[in-house]
Structures are given as structure tokens and as C-alpha cells.
């Protein structure tokens, strides 16, 4: 049928970019066979993710963390793996116990997770679930979604990273009138900006050292874009409510309480509680950490206004130090976020398909399997690139 297998024997193969000890090679590997509940896709595009760069350089640290979390089979440096988890492909065939929901040729995006019996495998991070830097890939039918006709491949391929950003924005619980700060405008930061604007957040302030990325942030809809060498993102907005710093808050409190207590019998304590309910109490912005480098969270703790909510989205693979006294004194609320759920994933696809979100500014290149190593190197040094897509049909 549609499978253009590398051999005609009973063990068909496919071209894939394998990674062993951080080195890529394009070689023939076994064509995956769909197991129960699984669908075989012909890969159309697979995005290169920051997590892929981490997995190439820090596989052991990632695997140690995963092991401690009850996932013992994440790739180790010595393993030969096929990475790639931001998947767009066409249905080729179905395994047993599937519903056969879509006709062969239908374009599909899917959560990068397959199940073999009781074992869950992360597609693209595990020797047992080869990823999308290949001609074919397996996904789980229950976690797959058809891409509506007319949606360009290069946009549909952004479903997975936009789902990550949408989850972060949802967990950040940003009010429409609450300022949102995005620290770091790499692919994740840019996707967070897109999703904040899609949610209707009025003031999005973005900060990045790279002029290219600042320009991309503007194109993604950021209202204020700051070069942290020149300006502070912390002064680029005005907060709703009375104050931003601890002494300001103390002064405000003394003035307000002093005023109220001058009036005999005024229930000033109750007025304070009522004011809190009405939002007069200090409430800071929501700050999205999208860098993932040691020291960035600490700087945010030190500089964020009172009662800011800090959402840690960037993946930091090294031990990081933060001065928690800042978080305590300012009552910062810190949320770490990871991944997304199927509803968020489908919502990201809907936003792309309806045109409400346009991820095209993030798309800065497309390569074939042979150029994967160069693309990884380019992204690691990254100033000019945001997201590079892999098209395995390119030579």
C-alpha cells in the first residue's frame, strides 16, 4: 500500500535520523508496526523542540529525573534513539483494537505518547517509541486528532508546542486586565505570547536580549517589548491596585488605616477585608519564565512586585538557586508547569485551524533528515531561529 519501505523483505525498513551519544546519523531502521490502539503515520512535519536539544546534551540528567518520577525507560546517552515529538503525519494503517477513525491519507496531530500493554512510552524520548525524525511514526489513536482541510502543514505542525504554551497560560490564570510578563522570547516564550493574546490579555510585556527575538515577539502580538540591557520589564506597565513594593504597601496601609481609625466606631477591619475582596489589595502581574537557565528565576523573585504569580515554563536542567526570602516577603505565588492535557492539545489545534492564532512568525526554517544535526546546532546557538520543522521527504 502507501508504505514505501526500504526493503521488500518481511522486515521492511524506513529512513530515520538516529541519535547516539549526541551524534546524528541517517540510516535504515525497522519500520514500526502499529500495536493495539496504535496508528502508523507517514511523517509530514516534525518540529524540533528545546526538549530535543536538552535530550541530546543532557540525556542522563533527564533520564534520572524521569526514573525518579516512575518512568524508567527514557533515553540514555548510549542509546540509539529516533527523537521528534511535535508530530504531523498522514494515516497509513491501524493496529488491532483501533476504531479506524480516519481514512488513510488523513492528516493527524497526536500527543507524543504510546501505550504497550501497561507501559507508557514517550514518543521520541525512548528506544521503544521512535519519534518523528523519520519517514514513519506510531501514535495512539485515542490521543490523535484530525487536522481540518485547508490548514497548511507548516501551521498544523505547531499544535504540540502551542499546547504547551496554552497549558502554561491556563495554569497562569491571567486576568484580562492583569499585566503578563514573558521573560525570554525563544519558541516557548513566543508561543506563550501568542496564547496570551488569543486569551485576550490586554498588556503583554516581552523581554529578550536578542533583537531578532524581540522582533518576533512584536510579530506574535506583544504590546511592549523590552531589551533588558536597556530597560526593565518591571517598569513597563502600571499595576492595578495600589502598590508594587513592600514600603509602598506599608505607607499605603498606614495612610488608609489611619484615615479609617479617625472615624469612631468605623469597622475598619471589615473594610480591609471587603477591600481585599474588591481587589484593592496588592496583586502583581503574572510572570512567565521562558528561559530555563540558572539564575533567571532568582532574578524574577528579586524583582517581581508584591504578590506576583510566577509561572516557570522554561526547562532548566541544572540545579538552580533561588532566594526564597524574596518569594516569602513578597508572597509570590510560584507555579511550575509541564506538558498539557488532550483537551488543551485539541484546543491548540482549533486555535490554529480557525486562524485565531497564527504561529507562522515562529517558523524560521525547514530541513530534511540529513540537516538535522546542523539544525540542532543552529538552534542551540540560537539568535536567528525560533522553530525549525523537519520534512523527511526533503533530501
Residue ranges in contact with Zn ion by CB under 5 A: 49, 51
CB of 212 to Zn ion, least distance (A): 21
CB of 51 to Zn ion, least distance (A): 5
Alpha carbon distance 331, 309 (integer Å): 9
Alpha carbon distance 367, 379 (integer Å): 12
Contacts for 96 with CB less than 8 Å, ≥ 6 apart: 35, 36
CB of 337 to Zn ion, least distance (A): 13
Nearer to Zn ion, 47 or 305 (CB): 47
Residues in the chain, total: 395
Give the dihedral of Cα atoms 341, 345, 346, 349; nearest 10 deg.
170
Nearer to Zn ion, 49 or 62 (CB): 49
Nearer to Zn ion, 51 or 73 (CB): 51
Nearer to Zn ion, 51 or 207 (CB): 51
Nearer to Zn ion, 49 or 287 (CB): 49
DSSP 115-181: EETTEEEETTSBTTS--SSBSEEEEEGGGEEEPPTT--HHHHTTHHHHHHHHHHHHHHT--TTS-EE
Nearer to Zn ion, 281 or 315 (CB): 315
Whole-number Cα distances in Å, 16 to 1, 32, 109, 129, 237: 20, 11, 19, 13, 48
CB of 113 to Zn ion, least distance (A): 12
Residue whose grid cell is 516557570:
312
CB of 160 to Zn ion, least distance (A): 6
CB of 10 to Zn ion, least distance (A): 35
Alpha carbon distance 207, 198 (integer Å): 19
CB of 85 to Zn ion, least distance (A): 6
Closest residue (Cβ) to Zn ion? 49
Nearer to Zn ion, 260 or 315 (CB): 315
- Neighbouring C-beta atoms of residue 250, cutoff 10 Å: 11
371: which 3 cell numbers?
Answer: 540537516
Amino acid at each position: 500500500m502507501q508504505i514505501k519501505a526500504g526493503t521488500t523483505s518481511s522486515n521492511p525498513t524506513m529512513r530515520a535520523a538516529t541519535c547516539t551519544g549526541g551524534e546524528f546519523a541517517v540510516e535504515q531502521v525497522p519500520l514500526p508496526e502499529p500495536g493495539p490502539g496504535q496508528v502508523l503515520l507517514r511523517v509530514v512535519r516534525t518540529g524540533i523542540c528545546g526538549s530535543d536539544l536538552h535530550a541530546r546534551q543532557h540525556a542522563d540528567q533527564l533520564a534520572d529525573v524521569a526514573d525518579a518520577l516512575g518512568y524508567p525507560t527514557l533515553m540514555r546517552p548510549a542509546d540509539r534513539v529516533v527523537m521528534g515529538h511535535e508530530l504531523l503525519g498522514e494515516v497509513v494503517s491501524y493496529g488491532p483494537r483501533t476504531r479506524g477513525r480516519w481514512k488513510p491519507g488523513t492528516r493527524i496531530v497526536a500527543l507524543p505518547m504510546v501505550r504497550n500493554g501497561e507501559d507508557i512510552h514517550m514518543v521520541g524520548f525512548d528506544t521503544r517509541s521512535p519519534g518523528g525524525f523519520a519517514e514513519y511514526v506510531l501514535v495512539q489513536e485515542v490521543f490523535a486528532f484530525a487536522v481540518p482541510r485547508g490548514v497548511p502543514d507548516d501551521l498544523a505542525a505547531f499544535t504540540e508546542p502551542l499546547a504547551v504554551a496554552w497549558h502554561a497560560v491556563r495554569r497562569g490564570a491571567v486576568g484580562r486586565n492583569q499585566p503578563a510578563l514573558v521573560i525570554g522570547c525563544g519558541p516557548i516564550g513566543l508561543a506563550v505570547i501568542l496564547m496570551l493574546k488569543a486569551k485576550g490579555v490586554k498588556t503583554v510585556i516581552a523581554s529578550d536580549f536578542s533583537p531578532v527575538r524581540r522582533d518576533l515577539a512584536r510579530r506574535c502580538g506583544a504590546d511592549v517589548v523590552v531589551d533588558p540591557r536597556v530597560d526593565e520589564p518591571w517598569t513597563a506597565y502600571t499595576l492595578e491596585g495600589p502598590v508594587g513594593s513592600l514600603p509602598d504597601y506599608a505607607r499605603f496601609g498606614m495612610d488608609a488605616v489611619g484615615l479609617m481609625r479617625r472615624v469612631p466606631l468605623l469597622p475598619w477591619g471589615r473594610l480591609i477585608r471587603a477591600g481585599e475582596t474588591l481587589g484593592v489589595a496588592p496583586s502583581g502581574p503574572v510572570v512567565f519564565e521562558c528561559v530555563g537557565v540558572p539564575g533567571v528565576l532568582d532574578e524574577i523573585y528579586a524583582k517581581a512586585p508584591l504578590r506576583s504569580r510566577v509561572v516557570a515554563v522554561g526547562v532548566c536542567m541544572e540545579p538552580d538557586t533561588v532566594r526564597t526570602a524574596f518569594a516569602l516577603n513578597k508572597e509570590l505565588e510560584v507555579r511550575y508547569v509541564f506538558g498539557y492535557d488532550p483537551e488543551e492539545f485539541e484546543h491548540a489545534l482549533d486555535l490554529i485551524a480557525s486562524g485565531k492564532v497564527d504561529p507562522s512568525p515562529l517558523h524560521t526554517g525547514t530541513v530534511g533528515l540529513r540537516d538535522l544535526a546542523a539544525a540542532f546546532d543552529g538552534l542551540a546557538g540560537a539568535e536567528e531561529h525560533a522553530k525549525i520543522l523537519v520534512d523527511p521527504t526533503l533530501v
